[in-house]
Structure formats: C-alpha cells, structure tokens
Amino acid sequence: MDMVLDMRTLKKILITILILFPFCWFYNFDLDGTMNWALGRYEWPYQFNMALRDNWKRVGIEGYVFSCETHFPFIYVYGAGGFTKILNIPFIGYIEKLPNDSFYNQKGYGEKLSYADDTIDDMRKAYGSTLVIYTSFNDFSIQDQEIFRNMVINTKANDYRPPYNANAIQEGYVNIIKVFKGLETLLGQKIPI
C-alpha cells in the first residue's frame, strides 16, 4: 500500500514539473528586484539599472540597461552599450547586438569590477559564432527596428538613472554625452532625456 501511495505522489510531482517547466523556460520571473529569464540564465538587477548578464557564460551583455522588453521568444534591450536582441531559450545562447562604440571605447582600461565592465571582445570569447555584431541599425529586421524605436520613445526620464541621466548631461560629463551621441547616431534620431 505504501509503495502505491509513493508512486501516486511521485506521479503528481512529475506532472507538476512537466506543466511548470515550459512556463519557467520562456517566461521571466522577478526575485527581489532582479528580473530573470530562461531558467535564471539571463539576469538584470533593474532596481539599480545595472548590467544585464548571462549567468551561465559569466559575461555582461549590456552594461547599463535603460529599457528591456520581451517579445516571444526574444528579449530586447536598450542601454548605454547599444541595442541588443537575445534569444530567450536557456540552452541556446544567441545574441544580435548593435554596439555603441562611444560606450565600449571607454572600457577595457584596468581591472574589471563588475559585469558592466565586460567588452564586446569578452562577449565574442563567451559566445563565439552565436554572437552577431551589427554595424547599422538597418541590419535589424523592420520589426526589430520598430520595437527598439518604441523602447527609446517610451523610456521616461526617470528610467535613465545615474550615471546616465539628465543631471549628468546638464553638468557636462563628457563621457556620458558621448554615449548618448553615439546612441543617437546608431538610431538616426534624437533621444529625448
């Protein structure tokens, strides 16, 4: 009798796992101010607007995130480092990125203190051929371009947190101004801050 009861319990547990696994696979979940996708592979501590990172590859994908959206099966990221499209499947690390050279040219001088300090070369080492680097905004599909443009338009002034905010620009921080000029050049339009 005990063996039958244990088998029933085991079946219920397995069925529950099979039902919940696809849900956790693609959808994001929020843990204490940190957004997670693809079974925790991709992580963004949005409370602090910090780097979106790949925990499995141990590399930063975007140094400073301004806006992030999911459109099945992709994660779209707009940040100081440019525009990034990530395939939201745990076991396949595929990324399309249009890097903001004004952001990445400031990096690589000294010790890495966080995922925000990772460079495009660090990403190339981690992803190899599954990282596609674009040179123009038009390299993205029309649908992707529209998603990114809407993200820029819908990003509110308070979404730009230090060091990338209006106060830093008004105070004339040269590196911050260069980053936004670089983003405007990539996008081909003015970014309202």
Specify whether the CB–CB gap between 103 and 137 falls below 8 A: no
Q: Treating both helix axes as pointing N-terminal to C-terminal, what angle do 142-154 and 174-187 enclose, rounded to 10 degrees?
A: 140
Half-sphere exposure of 193 (CA within 13 A, CB side): 22
pLDDT (0 to 100) of residue 110: 47
pLDDT (0 to 100) of residue 25: 47
* Domain count of the fold of the chain: 1
In a domain, 10, yes or no: no
pLDDT digits (tens, 9 = 90+) for 150-179: 999 888 766 666 666 556 555 556 577 788
pLDDT (0 to 100) of residue 68: 85
In a domain, 159, yes or no: yes
Specify whether the CB–CB gap between 35 and 69 falls below 8 A: no
pLDDT (0 to 100) of residue 109: 47
Tokens 């730009």 found at: 160
| Average pLDDT, consecutive stretches of 10 residues, N- to C-terminus, the chain (193 residues) | 64 68 51 58 61 81 85 88 86 87 69 65 90 95 95 77 60 68 84 72
Question: Phi first, then psi: what are they for 12, rounded to 5°?
Answer: -65, -40
- Domain of 48, in residue numbers: 26-187
pLDDT (0 to 100) of residue 124: 92
